[in-house]
């Protein structure tokens, strides 16, 4: 199996192949910041909790 490289940050992704495809070939965190973070709290910085229970910044 070839390396799974995140399309956002360029680092290796350690997810199953299925999850890698679900998250658009990104880490979950990169996917969240690219597609979901701004939906929950427009203009929120990446280090600010957007209010989504799975937001990496809120953990």
The predicted pLDDT at position 33 comes to 95
Report the percentage of the chain scoring pLDDT > 70.
Answer: 98
Structural tokens at position 30: 């990169």
Q: pLDDT tens for residues 10-40?
A: 999 998 989 999 999 999 999 999 999 998 8
Q: pLDDT tens for residues 5-14?
A: 999 999 999 9
Indicate whether 54 pLDDT > 70.
Answer: yes
Residue 10: count of CB within 10 angstroms of its CB: 8
Domain edges within the chain: 1-49
The predicted pLDDT at position 24 comes to 96
What's the sign of the alpha-carbon dihedral 17, 2, 31, 55? positive
pTM of the model: 0.86
Query: What is the rounded CA–CA span in Å between residue 47 and residue 4?
Result: 25
């Amino acid at each position: 199996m070839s390396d799974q490289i995140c399309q956002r940050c360029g680092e290796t992704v350690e997810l199953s192949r299925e999850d890698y495809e679900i998250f658009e070939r990104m880490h979950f965190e990169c996917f969240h910041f690219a597609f979901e973070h701004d939906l929950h709290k427009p203009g929120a910085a990446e280090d600010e909790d957007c209010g989504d229970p799975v937001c990496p910044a809120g953990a």
